[in-house]
Structure formats: C-alpha cells, structure tokens
Structure 1
Amino acid sequence: MRKIGFIPLRKGSKGILNKNKRKMVGRPLFTWVLGEAIFSELDEVFVYTDDETIIEFINKEYYWTNKIKALLRSKESANDTASTESAILEFCETTNYNFDVFCLLQATSPFTKKDDINNCLKEIGNDFDSALTVVKTHRFLWDESGNPINYNPLERPRRQDFEGLLIENGAVYVVTKNALKKHKNRLGENTAIVKMPEDSLLEIDTESDWVAVESLLIERQKRYKESQKITHVVFDVDGVFTDGTISYTKEGEHTKVFDMRDGMGIEILKQFDIEVMVMTSENSELVAKRMKKLKLKHVFLGVKDKYTLLNQVMQEKGKTLNNVAYVGDDVNDLTNICSVGWSLAPNNATDIVKQHADIVLSKNSGAGAIREACQFIMNYNKRF
C-alpha cells in the first residue's frame, strides 16, 4: 500500500509576509511539518508549490533522503481564490493518482508530529476511508442570536465535568484513493478522528499568532529534553569556532581566525569516545580545511534545516537528541538549542540563543568558548 504525503505551499501570503518561508524558532515554517513527515510512515512526501526558491531549497537541503519531492504547481491552483482541493486534484491528475492513501499536511500547523501522521494512517482500513486530526475544546459556544450551542447556561458545568467539543485543527487529513476520486474531497464517507493537543488549534494569521505559536513550540521542545550521557557534540562554526567576523582581501578572498585552544578541547573529547560533529549553514572551503586539520569525520556544510538533519544523523547512530550537546550562537541554531540534552552558547551569542541555552559560557566565540564547552561536557559525563 503506497502512502504519500502532500504539502501545498503558496508563494503569496496576505496576513504574514512570506509566511511559509519565514523562520519559526530558526527554521522555515514549512520545514516543521516536512521534517516530521520524513520520519513518519509515509512512503513519499510531495511539496506542491509555485515558489521556485522553495523547490531549490528542498532539492539542496534534503539530498540525504529520496523521500521528498518538490513539484511546481500551476498559477491557477495557487491564486488567492483557489481551494486546497483544487491543488489536490491537479496534483492527483498530474501524477495519475499514483498512490493508495493520500495524506494532506498543512505547513501552517507546526505542532504536527510524526505520531499524529501515523495515527491517522493507522485508521485507514479499519472501516474508515478517511481520517483527520481534531482538538477537544472545553469552551462554551454561542451562536449569533445569543443562543448557547453546547451547554445549558442555567446548569453551567465545571470544566472537569464538561465533555466539550471536537474541532478540526486543520493539521492532517488522510483519505483513500477511491474515496478521493469519488468525492473530489480530502475526506470520504466514514471518517476517523485523531486527537492532538489543544495548542495545535492555534492558527497563524497575524503577527500576534506567530509570537504565541513560536513561544509554545519552544516550550514544547524543552519539555522533551532529558539529560542523558553525552555521546555526541555538535558545533556551529561562525560565531562558535570564530568570532563571527570575516576579513576580506582586495582580491575578494576572506579569512577566518580559529582559536588553537578549541582544537585541544576537541582532541580531548575524542579521547573520551565522544563523537564531534560540525554543522554550519555556510558552505566554506576554509571551514572544510580547518575541520580536516582537526580530523573531524562528520562535517555538514551548507545546512539550513539543522534540526531535521541532526535527527536523521542520530537516528542512524541509534541515539537520540538527549545524547547530544549542541553549541550554537544564532537563530538558525535555536531549535537544536531548545531540543538537545545539553545546549551551550558562547558569551557573545545572540540574546535569543542565550535566553534559551542551558549554559551560557563565560568565554566568547573564537576566544576559548569551545574549550570551555568541552570541559563542561567532560565534567558532566563523569556522573555516568
């Protein structure tokens, strides 16, 4: 049974400029659900967009998996009046309905986890031809005429005694091919419901919504953290190995300055069987040469979605993010800073990173911060 995911993205956004590409906790918004889809039980995931920069991003960023495909959608299916169903049907006809189960994933639902996707998929075949995610709300609802909808005001129940209502949160919809072809709709005739946390009901339509969702995501990532033995350390480069500045020559070439004490710290870590990795958004020949000098085997250059790649690497190694210490300094490190077992930031890191890092080092980047981080990790691991 071939199960595919479908993430429709439009270039335009009325409420929030470039919403799908804007960084949410340091990652483009659409990568939150895309990353979860990669690790779900879906066989393939299609990003359907009229934004060629997103297609370029996906082709470059997710080279390590053949599960993701980015396709260009027509202008007609991406205009302001086009429905999601019109994009779905256009895609299905273009690909000749090459699937058994279709899963619609909304990029504006960053709370979606792989388990939510898998739980919807599991319902298909159990007398259900479709499934969707919902949230239970304990709000008291009224209509425009001033009539109560879901309770008796004269017998107002306590919250713990109130059953509440189930509301679509718009995150995940799953439907069989036969039902989709018959009804031309994301849902069939017999629909299963899968509950998600109440936070996932929030929609991102305004700047205030964005701030609220981002804060909730940060706190969710922190709740997952567990302090375990550190087996892997990941370093950003600019603003961690270096002071974050670049010197240019008149020929246009640039130089970076590295602290030799940091190199000694990394050498000591490796003696204690702690694997050291480097993950940076810049694709720099100078960085590659420095890491080769340090004899680091796992160097990832030009990475924009660091969180998804780090999850993939740790999954391959049979470890979790709780076994990782991460040292970063800027917003593109933020999700990892909030998610790993231990996160550390140089003293001159950006304020947002220092606010959420577990440890703010006394040393600045490029001036002994890595050496100090290595010492902390060695001392911490002694308890194990």
Structure 2
Amino acid sequence: MKKIGIIPLRKDSKGIPGKNKKKMVGRPLFSWVLTEAIFSDLDAVYVFTNDTEIISYIEREYYWSDKVYALLRNEENANDTASTESTMMEFSEKINHDYGVLCLLQATSPLTLSADINAVLDKITTTQYDSALTVVNTHRFTWNKDGTPQNYDVFNRPRRQNFEGLLIENGAVYATKKELFLHSRNRVSGSIGLVEMPEETLMEIDSLSDWNIVENLLIERQKKSKTQQRIDYLVLDVDGVFTDGGVYYNEEGEMAKKFDMRDGMGLEILRENNVEVITLTSENSKLVVQRMQKLQIKEAFFGVKDKYSFLKQFLATKNSSFGAVAYVGDDVNDLTNMCSCSLSFAPANATTTVKMNADFVLGTASGAGAIREVCEMILKYNKRYD
C-alpha cells in the first residue's frame, strides 16, 4: 500500500509574516516536519506550496533523498478562505490519485516525530481503521459558556491521577485510505483511530510568543535526546570556525580568508586516532575547497543550508548516530546540530545564542586555534572508551 505524505504551505501568513520559512532553531519551520517525514515509513512526501522560493529550496537542499518532491499549488487554494480539504483534493488530482494512504502533515507542528507519523500509518495498515489522527490527552477541566462544566462534576473534583482527561486534536498528523478520502472528501472518515502525542504538542504557533515557547521546547527536546559514546566523527562549520568569519574582497570578488595552521595539525592527529573529520558549510567558496583539499578532508560538503537533515542522512549511510559526533559551530544555522550531537563546541567569538546552547565554550576564538583546542579535548574524552 503506497503511503504518500503532503505538507501544504501557503506563501503568506497573517499572524507571523513568512512563518513557514522563518528559522526555528536555525532551520525553516517547515523543515522540521519534512525531515521527520523523510525518515518515516512514508514512501514519498510532497511539499505542496504556492511559494516558488520554497520549491527552489527543496529541490536544491534535499537532492540526497529520493522521497522528497515539491509541487506548485493553485493560488485559489492558497488563500485565507480555502480549506485544507480542497488543497488535499487538488493535490490528489495532480498526482492522479497515485497512493493507497494519504497522510496530511502540518508544518506548524514542528514537534512531530517520525515515530508519530509511523504510529498513525500503522493504525491504517496493520489494523482495521480507515483513517487516523493524532490527539493529546489533556487533564484540564473544560467549561461551557453558560457556566456549566463539560468534563467533570464540580462537586466531585477528581484527582489528576484518577482523571481520564479529554482527547483533543493537535493538528499534527492525519491519514486516510484513498477510497475513503475520495468518497468523503475529508481528511478522516470511516472508522477512525487515535494516536496520542505529548501534551506540549498541543501548542499552536499563532504569535511570536508561541514561536519562542515552541522553539525552546525543540531545543530542550534535542538536548534530552543526546547520548554519549566514543566520538567517531568531528563535524565542523567553516566560516567562523576554521576562519575568524571575515573575508577579504577585491573587485573580482572573494580574495582571501585566514586559517590557523595549528588547526590542521590537530585534525591530522585526530585522524591518526580514528576520528573522521567532516566539514559542513552553507557557503560555496573556492578558497575553502582548496583549504579542505590541502587538509586532506575528503568528506567536505558545500552549500548545505539544512545542516541537520543532511547530517542525519549522512550518519544513516554510515550506520551511525548523533551520539558518535562532536560538532563545532558558531551561528544559528549550526544550532540544531549542536543541540543534537553528543558534544558541541562554540569558539570564544561565536554568537551569543550558540554559546548559550553549546556544551563547551572554547577559550580560543575561531581562526586562532579553536579547532586545535577541540581536537585535544576529543582525544582526552575518547580515552575513556579506547
């Protein structure tokens, strides 16, 4: 049974302008659920949007996955009055209804995990349910406008541990069999299964204060998922890590960057001790390419904007995990990786946000021996495992 995911995105947003592209923990908001969809049991996932900038970003950024597609939606189905169901129907028609299960994913639910997506799919593929959705079990007491309680007896207030609570849609994941969707034209119908997600996933992103709360929840979730083991990989940003973040220009363009020779010796010693060195930069610089070749760094990746997704798939190809990685970054586009990898380091001159969330703030600045300091710390750390 072919399982297809759809992430509908509109170009405009009234509450938070440009919300879908706005960076949350250094990544575009939509990339959080997209990454989880890639690593879920879905056979393909489509970003369905009227924003050509997002389409270009996806085609450029997720080339490494054969599951990701970007598809242009009609403007009439991308306005304030268009329903999600009409968008889903337009999408279904555009792909000639080529699926067995259609899964709706919401970019405004960045706390969604691949396990949540799989649990919803399993309700349909391994049980008798026709459709399924995610809910949250809240233990809050609810009331009607006329002053009457909805879900408890005010004269017999239950203790939380004895209260079954109330199941509420959190709007994260919906899935339905094709024949049911084409008949009902609704995201769920027939016999409906429920999948519970944590209570914090009920949070909606309608304002900047909501945004800040969810962003902090994501940072803490990534940090809590950290595991410790031997460090097998050192992943490095380039500008602001190898260099001081500056660049010299002339009329022909980029002319020079400053690198610290001591960093090169540290990396050589690290490789001799079976730690693979990887560079991951969002820039495309001929000077950096030359320097990486000089340092004999074979795994050097350029022009990577979504560093978290890329590193996750790289580690999957190595049959490894974030627990085997030490990461050095200096700016917000490194933040998710720094919150996810076993050890994270920030140079002394990194941005304040990065230093606040790094495991270690180095005593040296980038371009002045910061990488050499990291190498020595990793060698010392790995002794407990060697």
Q: TM-score range by the shorter chain?
A: over 0.9
1:250 deviates by 3.0
Tell me the equivalent position of 1:109: 109
Tell me the equivalent position of 1:144: 145
In the TM superposition, 1:303-322 aligns within 5 A as 303-322=304-323
1:254 deviates by 2.7
**Any idea what the Cα deviations from partners look like across 1:19-67, whole Å, max 9, x if unmatched?**
0000000000000000000000100000000000000000000111111
In the TM superposition, 1:78-97 aligns within 5 A as 78-97=78-97
Would you say the 8 A contact 2:247–2:254 is kept in 1?
Answer: no
RMSD of the TM alignment (CA)? 0.7
Counterparts of 1:299 and 1:235 in 2: how far apart (Å)? 9
Counterparts of 1:127 and 1:230 in 2: how far apart (Å)? 45
Tell me the equivalent position of 2:52: 52
Tell me the equivalent position of 2:7: 7
Counterparts of 1:163 and 1:83 in 2: how far apart (Å)? 33
1:19 matched to 2:15? The reply is no
1:105 deviates by 0.3
TM normalised by structure 2 equals 0.99
Q: Secondary structure at the match of 1:97?
A: coil
Q: Secondary structure at the match of 2:193?
A: strand
Counterparts of 2:254 and 2:383 in 1: how far apart (Å)? 44
Counterparts of 2:186 and 2:255 in 1: how far apart (Å)? 55
1:251 deviates by 2.8
Counterparts of 1:285 and 1:8 in 2: how far apart (Å)? 37
Counterparts of 1:284 and 1:186 in 2: how far apart (Å)? 46
**Any idea what the Cα deviations from partners look like across 1:192-214, whole Å, max 9, x if unmatched?**
00011111000000010000000
In the TM superposition, 1:143-292 aligns within 5 A as 143-292=144-293
Letter in 1 for 2:30: F
The total of aligned residue pairs comes to: 384
Relative to structure 2, which stretch is displaced further, 278-287 or 28-37? Answer: 278-287
Letter in 2 for 1:135: V
Tell me the equivalent position of 1:34: 34
**Any idea what the Cα deviations from partners look like across 1:104-126, whole Å, max 9, x if unmatched?**
00000000000000111111041
1:80 deviates by 1.1
In the TM superposition, 1:288-303 aligns within 5 A as 288-303=289-304
Q: Secondary structure at the match of 2:335?
A: helix
Letter in 2 for 1:41: D
Counterparts of 2:353 and 2:255 in 1: how far apart (Å)? 28
Letter in 2 for 1:9: L
TM normalised by structure 1 equals 0.99
Counterparts of 2:231 and 2:253 in 1: how far apart (Å)? 41
Counterparts of 1:166 and 1:90 in 2: how far apart (Å)? 30
Letter in 2 for 1:76: E
| Unmatched tracts of structure 1, length 5 or more | none
| Identical columns (%) | 60
Counterparts of 1:349 and 1:284 in 2: how far apart (Å)? 21
Letter in 2 for 1:15: G
Letter in 2 for 1:10: R
Counterparts of 1:259 and 1:303 in 2: how far apart (Å)? 23
Tell me the equivalent position of 1:355: 356
Letter in 1 for 2:260: D
Q: Secondary structure at the match of 1:91?
A: helix
Would you say the 8 A contact 2:222–2:339 is kept in 1?
Answer: yes
Counterparts of 1:250 and 1:172 in 2: how far apart (Å)? 52
Would you say the 8 A contact 2:135–2:170 is kept in 1?
Answer: yes
Tell me the equivalent position of 1:68: 68
**Any idea what the Cα deviations from partners look like across 1:260-279, whole Å, max 9, x if unmatched?**
00001110110011010000
Counterparts of 1:327 and 1:379 in 2: how far apart (Å)? 17
